């Protein structure tokens, strides 16, 4: 099996939010930005006149040692065969324990209003029919069909690189092995599988 991961090159992100829009469309997430699976933070650094603006796309880190996995009382949060961290919507209690445990703020509540709106828009094709905690899935259903995650496929700046971390010939594995791509907050010891080039 593969062990999927992603590299996000902050040097190329233009903050266009195409990744967020593609993810929301592909995964039927709510249409308000506080409930998107992928968000682009707009960070200003420095003091006038020496300022700079940086865009930082954030998603679930699909950690090797995820705090969200062990704290889930119903085992709704689980690791799939490719190492991705997923949520079983039908067994999720919506208790928010995983949200509190996640140091990256990568989860949100798909509440009853979101479920109702989704049914109104998508009808029988609705992917979200019960209240649950939601997060990035690395678009596992697309990946199973040989496609890239929606955020990767749509990025006009090619900021996101997705692949098998265990395949030494994959671009993602090469960038991580070279040391140029680094995880966010390595001090947390969650061993994220999403890496950043600064």
Q: Which CATH number fits domain 4-165: 3.40.50.300, 3.40.1030.10, 3.40.570.10, 3.30.70.20?
A: 3.30.70.20
Over residues 187-197, the pLDDT tens digits come to 999 999 999 99
Over residues 114-171, the pLDDT tens digits come to 999 999 999 999 999 999 999 999 999 999 999 999 999 999 999 999 999 999 999 9
Q: Domain extents for the chain?
A: 4-165
- Nearest Cα residue to 6 out of 162, 186, 159: 162
Count CB neighbours of 161 within 10 A. Answer: 21
Distances (CA, A) of 139 to 28, 144, 168, 181: 12, 9, 22, 22
pTM, 2 dp: 0.93
DSSP β-bridge partners for residue 165: none
């Amino acid at each position: 099996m593969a062990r999927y991961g992603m590299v996000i090159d902050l040097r190329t992100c233009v903050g266009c939010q195409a990744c967020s829009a593609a993810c929301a469309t592909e995964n039927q997430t709510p249409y308000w930005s506080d409930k998107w699976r992928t968000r682009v933070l707009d960070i200003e650094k420095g003091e006038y006149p020496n300022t700079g603006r940086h865009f930082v796309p954030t998603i679930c880190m699909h950690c090797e040692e995820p705090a969200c996995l062990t704290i889930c009382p119903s085992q709704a949060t689980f690791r799939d065969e490719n190492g991705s961290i997923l949520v079983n919507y039908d067994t999720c209690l919506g208790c928010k324990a995983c949200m509190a445990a996640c140091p990256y703020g990568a989860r949100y509540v798909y509440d009853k209003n979101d479920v109702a709106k989704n049914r109104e828009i998508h009808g029988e094709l609705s992917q979200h029919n019960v209240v649950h905690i939601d997060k990035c899935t690395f678009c596992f259903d697309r990946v199973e069909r040989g496609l890239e995650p929606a955020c990767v496929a749509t990025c006009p700046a090619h900021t996101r690189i997705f692949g098998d971390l265990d395949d030494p010939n994959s671009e993602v594995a090469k960038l991580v092995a070279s040391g140029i791509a680094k995880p966010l907050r390595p001090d947390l010891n969650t061993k994220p599988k999403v890496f950043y080039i600064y």
